[in-house]
Amino acid sequence: MNDLLPDQSPVWQFLETKVKTVLQRYGYAEVRTPIVEQTELFKRSIGEVTDIVEKEMYTFEDRNGDSLTLRPEGTASCVRAAEQHGLLYNQVQRLWYTGPMFRHERPQKGRYRQFHQIGAEAFGMLGPDIDAEVILMTARLWRELGIESAVELQLNTLASSEARAAFKAELVSYLESRKDQLDADSLRRLETNPLRILDSKDAGTQALLDGAPSFNDFIDEESRLHFEQLCQLLDAAGVKYQINPRLVRGLDYYGKTVFEWVTTALGAQGTVCAGGRYDGLVEQLGGRHTPAVGFAMGVERLVLLLEELNAVPDAARQLVDVYLIGIGDDNLVPSMALAESLRTEAGMNVQLHCGGGSFKSQMKKADRSGARLALFIGSEEREAGEVSVKYLRSGAEQERLPLTNISMALSERLNKGLGE
């Protein structure tokens, strides 16, 4: 679990602002749900025999003896909230959320025990059009962030639950007779969650799977059509994808479409965004049958990727426009007044020097603040009704400007690039 410090927070804010804007472009409304839920909610939605529920949840008893869990993901909570407040009754919903999630995994680069997701869920729409729109939305986001060349879309269909059950039976019988060739994890999954074996990173297991029954032969007609139409819609919109028949996902609620956006730039934890369709979940949690599709992106991984690709514009890290110094106690009042009026009239980010010190040390702080301009008012300036302007990031000559109309004069100079 990590702290987020000032050198990092501008990158997070850059990302969060872009994502929010794109979500709003597609008509998504924000929901905020509690960080803890009844443990049952996650068991019933994510699945009893998934890694998340079996090994990774932070579960505790509260003072009433209720079993609560720090949310390991956002979909279950979003469904619970939407259902509880009647949002799914005879209407479609496009919802998004963001916040910390908790999984007790082995930490490594891109994998943490507290991590952050931004997720979106669309309820009440049955066809492949909404699947396509959800994917288009993520593709737009990568373009807006300038990382589109570093991510690739993997796509699969998990078909109907009947198709999965029939395939599971065949797969298990194929693997049962070859148990000795399976890696330890897959051996365990053979009993609990055999489809996850398709996802195994073990080379021996992957080779064994080459001869296994193919899921493709089990896909039902409706799911096949849904998938074909989705592919056509993506083709028409110019979104490239790779069909990966071994993409199965680690949560049990999916059927039909599943997808992941992956990058090779981050090492082992390369999935930056993942999701799919989960038409059965609302009903499973006690609501009426409601088709649904959504995804969640890992904020830490996207931040790492933005940094890896140098995709964060300098302006996003520029927190201070002006560093303002009143030299000596006599000049505190006019400098504080000037700082206030620059904030009000020019909307500038002004850091006022507080705490005294020598002029030299104040100028050092001005430089370290990242500001483009240092302004100072000494006795001479005060008596003349002026302010001195030093350009910290360019060779432009220091100058003195009258205090009247100072906001406009400074804005003009910054717009002309004098501060660069």
Distances in Å between the Cα of 6 and the Cα atoms of 117, 318, 369 are 20, 12, 12
Give the H or E element holding residue 186. helix 184-192
Tokens of 400: 């003195």
User: Of 86, 73, 90, 94, whose CA–CA distance to 31 is shortest?
Assistant: 94
Q: How far is the CB of 296 from ligand HAM (least distance, A)?
A: 4
Contact flag: residue 194 with ligand HAM (CB under 6 A)? no
Which 86-105 residues touch ligand HAM, going by CB under 6 A?
103, 105
Query: Between residues 82 and 296, which has the closer beta carbon with respect to ligand HAM?
Result: 296
Alpha carbon 222 to its chain's center: 32
Concatenate the DSSP letters of all residues of 241-294 into one string.
-EE-TT---SSTT--SEEEEEE-STTTT--EEEEEEE-TTHHHHTTS----EEE
Q: How far is the CB of 335 from ligand HAM (least distance, A)?
A: 45
Query: Between residues 299 and 389, which has the closer beta carbon with respect to ligand HAM?
Result: 299
Contact flag: residue 300 with ligand HAM (CB under 6 A)? yes
Beta bridge partners of 297: 118, 273
Helix 332-346 to helix 406-415 angle (10° resolution) is 60
Which 268-297 residues touch ligand HAM, going by CB under 6 A?
271-276, 294-297
Contact flag: residue 112 with ligand HAM (CB under 6 A)? yes
CB 138 within 8 A of CB 246: no
Please identify, among the stretches 68-76, 81-89, 139-147, 236-244, the one whose residues bind ligand HAM according to the rule CB under 6 A.
Answer: 68-76
Tokens of 10: 């501008």
Query: Between residues 171 and 305, which has the closer beta carbon with respect to ligand HAM?
Result: 305
User: Of 185, 180, 178, 183, whose CA–CA distance to 205 is shortest?
Assistant: 183
Interface with ligand HAM (CB under 6 A), residue from 280, 287, 298, 326: 298
Q: How many residues bind ligand HAM (CB under 6 A)?
A: 27
Contact flag: residue 74 with ligand HAM (CB under 6 A)? yes
Query: Between residues 249 and 413, which has the closer beta carbon with respect to ligand HAM?
Result: 249
Query: Between residues 74 and 124, which has the closer beta carbon with respect to ligand HAM?
Result: 74
Query: Between residues 200 and 331, which has the closer beta carbon with respect to ligand HAM?
Result: 200
Helix 128-145 to helix 9-25 angle (10° resolution) is 140
Write the CB contacts of 3 (distance below 8 Å, at least 6 apart in sequence): none
Interface with ligand HAM (CB under 6 A), residue from 69, 93, 98, 117: 117
Cα gap 288→285, rounded to integer Å:
9
Q: How far is the CB of 91 from ligand HAM (least distance, A)?
A: 19
Q: How far is the CB of 171 from ligand HAM (least distance, A)?
A: 22
Query: Between residues 110 and 194, which has the closer beta carbon with respect to ligand HAM?
Result: 110
Task: Enumerate binding residues for ligand HAM (CB under 6 A).
Answer: 73-75, 103, 105, 110-112, 115, 117, 119, 121, 250-251, 271-276, 294-298, 300-301
